[in-house]
Amino acid sequence: MKFSSALGLLALVGGTSASSNTIAAQSQLAPSQNITVVPNTFLIELQSDFHPGLQPKEKLAKTAPGSNAGYHVRQQYNSTEHFFGVSVAFDQDVDLATLKKTAGVKNAWSVTVVPRPVPYQQLTGSPNSKDTSKDKRDTLPNYRGSERVNEPLAMAGVDKLHAQGIKGKGVQIAIIDTGVDYNHPSLGGGFGPGHKIALGYDFVGDDFTGFNSPVPDPDPLATCVGGEHGTHTAGIVGMEDPENEGFGLVGVAPEATIAAYRVFGCNNGGTTNDVIIAAMLRAAQDGADVVSMSFGGGNGWELDDPFNDVVTQLVNSGVAVVAAIGNVGIEGLYWPQSPGLSHDALSVASVENGVFPVAYTAHDDQQNALDYISVFPATNLGRQQIYTLGTGLGVPPDPTISSGCDTSVWAALQSATNRGTINWNNTILLVSVTESCVSLFNNWGEAAAIGVQTMMVYVADDEQLNASPLDGVQILYLNHENSQKLIDIFDNLPADQTSYYLTFDGDKVKDVPNKLGATVDAFSSYGPTVEMTLVPKISSPGGNILSTWPLEGGGYALLSGTSMATPFIAGSAALLKSQQPHLGVSELYARLMATAKPLKEFGLPLVASTARQGGGLVDAYAAVHADTVISPSEIDLRDSASPAPQKITITNQSKGKKTYQIRHVPAAFTRVYYNYLAGGPDIPRNGSIYPLEIDASAKFSRSSLILEAGQSATFEAQITPQEDKWPYSMPVYAGFVEVFSGNETYSIPYIGVPTSRAEVGPIMVNATPPGSLSSPAVYKFQITNPGGQATKPNIDTYNLTGSPDDALPLIYISTGLPSRLVRLELVSANTSFVPSIYGFDPNVAIDYRLPAIATQSGYLGEPSYGIISASTIDPVSANSPIQQGLTFNLFVSGLIESPTLTSDNNTSIKLVSGDYRPLFRALRWNGDESNPADYQSWLGPVLRLNVTSS
């Protein structure tokens, strides 16, 4: 018997019976961020009282696997304060569960691959002004003009702190990233004591991919393409463009000391969690006050993850840990990354820059000005003819043509090029962006091959502006305003005009408006964690951020991602720490969160969910100058229709009396795609998230408070969500409790789920899952004619002859809510098991033909013929029939393809002809694995198998 994995089968079924639309809805929830485990390689934390006094490696040698097995130690961690242990690769199979129980071992985890950080978009370029003759290593071009190149600082009140001389002096920020090009003049032009990048370490070397051996050295320099990310994040923390170089850019904490730890190589691949942990421990040992980590992976669960422990240890020793929430906003709710979701990390969402910070002006022959977005001015281009994809001149009415979605236009362009009609040395290809064209760059990929050297991209909306590079082609972007301007010019060209030219004469930096400015970026991952803890905690500018880049790559780049937002918060924390050195880490987080400013949803009159923005956009000025402390810093209401009242304490730390008012600010209610309930509202699909106005209500025990200097008082907040009938749409309600006094405002974000997950249960019942198959149910499925035909109620017959024409039993079950453990197996047809849900009429008598094989002892007392499919979120041993990797909104579909099942101890069980029933059990939320009552179960109709195949 074979188990067809959920998605594999869905794809099969999708071919004939489910609409492509619903398949897309499903696949958005598939775990796109797989956890890649390095085989037989573990992080082992060792017990302090086991052979005390020995170094980690020697201690390992005293443990059972350490004394027997062939192995090599990858990393040693001998910080008694933070983490004492090793990472080790064994030469043969070692079982994690057994390892955890070994004498001397305090805890153990698999070594996993952490993907390298990939910005959501990036725009680079080479400076091509008169300055190019100069040695790029010593001098940067000098482009000035815009007042707003440092707009992100203004958005977060950092400019006002700088004006007060508050620049992070005395605080050490560790950046764990791809290394840094410290030769950049804006980053101090050197490395070591006295320099901006004062210390650091390279844990991996240029060639590390996560799968080969790291080659460490003491120098975190990275000048390679592929290793540039850390130069950008370092700039956001601390850059200072010299007087006559660059753009006049300033980082958030330009007087802080930066320590750069390199954990990624130059090329593809990633790094491993054991290397990152080595860097985190080194950062703490070197005296970091704040650690900034712009990378992550994982699948949204608060797993038993080694990052959790190390982050907590760092925080307990006074080190703030700031980490990106991730760039998978497309996945919808419940997709934060690790280490961002670690219990004690300050996780960061990305907000769009208020402007596109670098644009330059080109003029047409009539002196109409057009501002294009580019890191450097395209003055090298001189005068260029503009050629619209598909039509040559004039903007075609059909965007599928000008966008290149309709691939026939590329063939036409190729033949025009071949005929010599177009000389790409002095012609720019004008293309548009259209929403229907999903993979933009696939559609433009032909341009370089045809010989196009420069493209200009116009958009119908700023939302579509995804400034990214295309190999071999220089791209100039127009924002919505300038796109419209160009379209109008084309519309009004005289009928006899056959060409249109732009001259790239401007090299003065301009900024152009950004309609999405100061809203949370669509790419920024949503929280909360699957366990419903509020993440991200806070937001900061991360969309369209101009910062430093390796000199060999041009010196500057415009990037978007939570990677950019993270160092901004690290810098903000440093500014606060420099002024309030006595603050503990949790106080530091609380101040940043409480003084952050809640943002609206783009284009909607709703405050964005706290699942997107946490406490809101950081306000570093308010954080530094706050003289009121509110506790707690967040309210996690978990899953309940009537959550318990919450106590909130206000402390007046000012020198005078203050009057505080308390009010409720509801934020958007969000659902994931379909509501999965027959008769429910038909919510139109738009991305995977629906921000709705379904506000919770809030009652406060006090609506105002008067506090003398130094006084504290506590009030109660009773937050109650509206009743919700669509639990499988994974609803999340959110908002803020706001406390204000004069012009000071503090807000405490809250988040909750309006129904009890445990009561609802993971199995979707009375619901319409995507596709035409209902669930839970058994279907007949033919490999040669997939689709799933309905079966007879109570009992149906299946021939297992081994022929592809066999109508095989397909057990189809949707789980709508998360479950840590699900099992689908075959049990005796005459079982007395009482399920939560009957898949047949228990009052119909059946004359059973019981198979002539014995049942196994089975799981939790229910005898079984074996497992069809089982999975868990927890680690499993190497030879377990249970798979690791369960998430929610999952289809568990068991197709019985050949008559062999697997027992719990992984032996093969041969089925013979006879009657069987499928039994599905899913552990309810917060359930105890060993308690049968904590499972929701479904017992299916009789499967009468005629087995003639072997």
Ligand X SMILES: *[C@@H]1O[C@H](CO)[C@@H](O)[C@H](O)[C@H]1NC(C)=O
Nearer to ligand X, 290 or 807 (CB): 807
Residues 376-435 that bind ligand X (CB under 6 A): 423, 425
Q: Is 439 in the site for ligand X (CB under 6 A)?
A: no
**Is 449 exposed, middle or buried (CB count within 10 Å of its CB: 0-12, 13-18, 19+)?**
exposed
Tell me the site size for ligand X, rule CB under 6 A.
Answer: 13
CA–CA gap between residue 108 and residue 42 (Å, rounded)? 7
Helix (H) or strand (E) holding 932: none
**Is 501 exposed, middle or buried (CB count within 10 Å of its CB: 0-12, 13-18, 19+)?**
middle
Nearer to ligand X, 584 or 802 (CB): 802
Cβ at position 490, least distance to ligand X in Å: 25
Nearer to ligand X, 92 or 946 (CB): 946
Q: Is 784 in the site for ligand X (CB under 6 A)?
A: no
Question: Phi/psi at 312 (nearest 5 deg)?
Answer: -60, -45
Nearer to ligand X, 303 or 395 (CB): 303
CA–CA gap between residue 693 and residue 682 (Å, rounded)? 16
3-state secondary structure of 238: helix
Radius of gyration of the chain (CA): 30
Q: Is 32 in the site for ligand X (CB under 6 A)?
A: yes
Asked if 269 contacts 211 with a C-beta cutoff of 8 angstroms, the reply is: yes
Interhelix angle for 306-316 vs 273-285, to 10°?
A: 10
Per-position x/- string for 568-597, each x denoting binding to ligand X as judged by CB under 6 A, each - no binding = ------------------------------
Nearer to ligand X, 21 or 423 (CB): 423
**Which amino acid does the sequence have at 723?**
E
3-state secondary structure of 125: coil
Cβ at position 944, least distance to ligand X in Å: 9
Among 17, 28, 34, 794, which residue sits at the site for ligand X (rule: CB under 6 A)? 34
Residues 836-865 that bind ligand X (CB under 6 A): none
CA–CA gap between residue 175 and residue 441 (Å, rounded)? 31
CA–CA gap between residue 544 and residue 656 (Å, rounded)? 42
Cβ at position 283, least distance to ligand X in Å: 16
Nearer to ligand X, 22 or 595 (CB): 595
- H helical segments located in 580-641: 585-595, 610-613, 620-625
Cβ at position 875, least distance to ligand X in Å: 17
Cβ at position 421, least distance to ligand X in Å: 11
Nearer to ligand X, 128 or 836 (CB): 128
Nearer to ligand X, 392 or 555 (CB): 392
Asked if 903 contacts 911 with a C-beta cutoff of 8 angstroms, the reply is: no
DSSP string over 409-462: HHHHHHHHHHTT---TTSEEEEEE--TT--SHHHHHTHHHHHT--EEEEE-SSG
Helix (H) or strand (E) holding 780: strand 777-782
Cβ at position 428, least distance to ligand X in Å: 14
Asked if 621 contacts 161 with a C-beta cutoff of 8 angstroms, the reply is: yes
Per-position x/- string for 919-948, each x denoting binding to ligand X as judged by CB under 6 A, each - no binding = ---------------------------x--
CA–CA gap between residue 938 and residue 788 (Å, rounded)? 20
Residues 698-737 that bind ligand X (CB under 6 A): none
Cβ at position 807, least distance to ligand X in Å: 5
Report in angstroms the alpha-carbon separations of 42 from 29, 72, 81, 105, 124. 29, 11, 21, 12, 39
Name residue, tokens 């950081």.
Answer: 618
CA–CA gap between residue 652 and residue 709 (Å, rounded)? 6
Q: Among all residues, which ones are annotated catalytic?
A: 177, 229, 563
Per-position x/- string for 43-62, each x denoting binding to ligand X as judged by CB under 6 A, each - no binding = ------------x-------
Nearer to ligand X, 382 or 603 (CB): 382
- Pairing, β 474-477 against β 454-458: parallel
Residues 6 or more apart whose Cβ sits within 8 Å of residue 772: 17, 18, 19
Among 367, 743, 784, 950, which residue sits at the site for ligand X (rule: CB under 6 A)? 743
Nearer to ligand X, 92 or 425 (CB): 425
Nearer to ligand X, 55 or 857 (CB): 55
Among 17, 47, 78, 129, which residue sits at the site for ligand X (rule: CB under 6 A)? 78
Asked if 40 contacts 92 with a C-beta cutoff of 8 angstroms, the reply is: yes
Q: Select from 609, 611, 632 the least CA-distant residue to 537.
A: 611
Cβ at position 870, least distance to ligand X in Å: 17
Residues 6 or more apart whose Cβ sits within 8 Å of residue 660: 628, 650, 704, 705, 706, 707, 739, 740, 741
Residues 793-822 that bind ligand X (CB under 6 A): 797, 799, 807
Name residue, tokens 């009242």.
Answer: 645
Among 20, 49, 70, 80, which residue sits at the site for ligand X (rule: CB under 6 A)? 80
Cβ at position 606, least distance to ligand X in Å: 26
CA–CA gap between residue 848 and residue 829 (Å, rounded)? 7
CA–CA gap between residue 834 and residue 813 (Å, rounded)? 18
Among 70, 194, 684, 742, which residue sits at the site for ligand X (rule: CB under 6 A)? 742
Cβ at position 624, least distance to ligand X in Å: 11
Cβ at position 79, least distance to ligand X in Å: 7
Q: Select from 54, 72, 70 the least CA-distant residue to 62.
A: 54
Nearer to ligand X, 563 or 745 (CB): 745
Cβ at position 43, least distance to ligand X in Å: 17
Report the interface residues with ligand X, using CB under 6 A.
Answer: 32, 34, 55, 78, 80, 423, 425, 742-743, 797, 799, 807, 946
